[in-house]
Each structure stands twice: as C-alpha cells, then as structure tokens.
C-alpha cells in the first residue's frame, strides 16, 4: 500500500483517502487541517447511518455533529481493537440512540429505511419505469417495517453501508454468529413478507 503526501495530508493512493492512523495522531495533536480532512472523509457515511436510525434530516445532521465531537474527544483513548470505521459507527449509533430515547423509539425506527435507501436512488426512469420502481419500493418498505430493530439494524449495516459481518459484530458488540443468524432471519422474513404482498 503506497502512501503519499499532498498539502500536508497523507493519503492512501488506492482509496484516495487520508491514512486513518496519521489522521488520528494529527487530530490529537490539534492539526486543524487533519480534523477537517477526517470530518470530510467520513461525514457522508456518518450522516447516512444517523439518518437510517432517526429518519429525520435535521436530527441526523445534529447527530453527525455530535458524533464527530465525541470522536475527537475520545481519540486519545482509541485502541485498535476495532477498525477506525467500526469505532466511528459505534459512536454514531450510540449518539443516534440517545436522541431516539427522547422520542418514541419504536415508532421512529419503523420508518428508518425509507429515507436512507431513497437517498441512493438517483437514477432517471421513464414514467412507466418510475411507477414500477415506486411500487416495488413501497412493497419493500412495507416488508422492512415489519422487522424488529435488531433485524433492521443488521440489514441497514450489511446491505446499505456494505459492512462486513465482522465490522457489524464490532459495532453492535454482538457475536458474528448472531449477526449471521439475524441476517438469515431478516432475509427469510423479507422474502415471506414480499411474497404475501405480491399475493404469491
């Protein structure tokens, strides 16, 4: 892996991202350029994850800000038992859950996936394709809303954020075997729900 420097920031060339270890040490030292780079590098993922939990755009922005403040404060105590991204996601989920405790937790989580998946749907469709797509999406959201929080959360992290089972295990502090089991159960429940919605 080749690392190069550009305007004082060390980048990993095959990902075009700043080296996390360098970023952390520079952020701890108070390097403002490094802090800005860290935030810019991860803010989209953090925002989407926050939105997937709270389903409220202004609140997701607030959670994102709080998450980075918590990250910067906690950097000196960070230990590489988790990947940096897994550690960051853990902080984000905890911040989001703290917000949800102020509201009706169960109701908000039933709506989590609608906004998060639609954010990624920026393709152009013909009117006929759009109608079909909207119908499919409506059925999917209806099926997803019947999943409990445990199964929705692993589905969001695995299929939207494309995290590995190991990373999800680290983020949720749940054994990998349990993550596999929850994903399997979620897929089966979604399949059965979609079949019922399709009248099969």
pLDDT surpassing 90 at residue 47: yes
Q: Which domains does the chain have, with CATH numbers?
A: 1-104 (1.10.1740.10), 110-200 (1.10.10.10)
Please determine, for residue 11, whether its predicted confidence score (pLDDT) is greater than 80: no
Confidence at 169, pLDDT banded by 50, 70, 90: very high
**Is the pLDDT at 193 greater than 90, yes or no?**
no
- Host H or E run for residue 4: strand 3-6
pLDDT per residue over 68-98, tens digit each?
Answer: 999 999 988 887 767 888 899 999 999 988 8
Given a contact cutoff of 8 angstroms between Cβ atoms, the answer to whether 161 and 192 are in contact is no
Query: What's the pLDDT score for residue 10?
Result: 43
Q: What are the Cα distances from residue 83, in Å, to 78, 161, 179, 197? A: 10, 15, 18, 40
For residue range 12-29, what is the model confidence (pLDDT) as tens digits? Answer: 333 456 777 788 888 888
């Amino acid at each position: 892996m080749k690392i190069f420097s550009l305007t004082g920031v060390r980048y990993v060339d095959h990902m075009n991202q700043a080296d996390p270890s360098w970023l952390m040490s520079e952020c701890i030292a108070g390097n403002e350029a490094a802090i800005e780079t860290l935030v810019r590098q991860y803010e989209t993922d953090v925002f989407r994850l926050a939105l997937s939990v709270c389903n409220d755009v202004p609140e997701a922005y607030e959670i994102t800000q709080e998450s980075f403040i918590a990250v910067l404060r906690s950097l000196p105590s960070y230990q590489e038992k988790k990947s940096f991204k897994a550690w960051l996601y853990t902080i984000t989920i905890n911040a989001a859950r703290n917000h949800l405790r102020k509201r009706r937790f169960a109701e908000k989580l039933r709506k989590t996936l609608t906004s998060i998946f639609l954010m990624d749907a920026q393709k152009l469709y013909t009117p006929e394709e759009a109608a079909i797509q909207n119908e499919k999406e409506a059925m999917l959201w209806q099926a997803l809303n019947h999943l409990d929080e445990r199964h929705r959360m692993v589905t969001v992290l695995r299929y939207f954020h494309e995290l590995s089972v190991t990373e999800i295990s680290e983020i949720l502090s749940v054994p990998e075997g349990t993550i596999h089991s929850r994903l399997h159960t979620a897929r089966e429940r979604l399949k059965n729900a979609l079949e019922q919605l399709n009248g099969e």
